Amino acid sequence: MQRSNATGIGLLLVAAALCLAGDAQAQQKSRQELVARFTGPQIVEKLKKGGHVLLLRHMTTVRSPDQWGGVDYDDCATQRVLSDEGKQQARTLGEAFKRLNIPVGTVYVSPYCRCRETALLAFGKEGTESETLTVWDELEMDEKTQRGTEIRKMLDTEPAAGTNTILVTHTGNLLWSFGLDSKPEGLTHVFKPTGLSIGRASYLGRVNPDEWRTLGGLDAPAGAPAADDAAAGAPTP
């Protein structure tokens, strides 16, 4: 009887361990599959030469939802908008780009106010609105998949010579396109397009919004160099 109980307990422990392993595997699979190849300073050096596409989630927003029942693109009062922190993050991004001499070409934005304002504060223009970059929870799965496909094509489209293209969008589109990490708000993912617009751009890596201040040397004394000319560190595995 005691042996039977011990055997039963042992089986329960094994089953619990298998469940935990399964949960761990599920969590692992849910993480971003694209692996960063370069660090922030290395990405900056590449962006200075142009020829890349940046997929940027809008900057930090206030903690309120979009209006229930629908959003009016022309009425920011119906939408979740940038917080003061988010506005400063956008300005910092723009200042860092200027200091680092990163050339910006076409800017595409979701029509939502938080995306248009991110582009305006960072790059001095609201950008070209693209319905592809919007996000709706109500979309059917095949529509979400199609939207992700279209974004992959945008990421694989060659920018104008000597410039970088910016796509300002939302969490959902980061997930639908490549299953990309979407936190924190203001996160930038960087791609090198093939120029064929077939969705096969190479993933270089990511830059968090707070990193731009350091990369741009905005904390350094006036006149100090923005960043080392040489790329720093080994590629991130």
55-73 pLDDT, tens per residue? 999 999 998 777 766 788 8
**Of 25-34, 41-50, 175-184, minimum mean pLDDT range:** 25-34
The reported pLDDT for the residue numbered 52 is 98
Nearest to 121 by CA among 148, 86, 155: 86
Q: Write the single-letter amino acid at 131.
A: E
- Give 205's strand partners: 190
With a cut of 90, say whether residue 97 has pLDDT above it. Answer: yes
Class of CATH domain 40-215: alpha beta
Task: Compute the distance between CA of residue 88 and CA of residue 16 in angstroms, rounded to an integer.
Answer: 48
Tokens encoding 28? 């692992």
Q: pTM score > 0.85 for this model?
A: no
CB atoms within 10 A of CB 78: 17
Tell me the per-residue pLDDT of 119-158, one tens digit each, with 9 for 90 and over. Answer: 999 999 889 999 999 877 677 888 888 888 999 999 999 9
- Quickly list H helices, the chain: 2-30, 40-47, 84-100, 113-123, 141-155, 171-178, 211-215
The reported pLDDT for the residue numbered 19 is 40
Q: What are the boundaries of each domain within the chain?
A: 1-31, 40-215
Instruction: Please check whether residue 57 is in contact with residue 182, taking contact to mean a CB–CB distance below 8 angstroms.
Output: yes
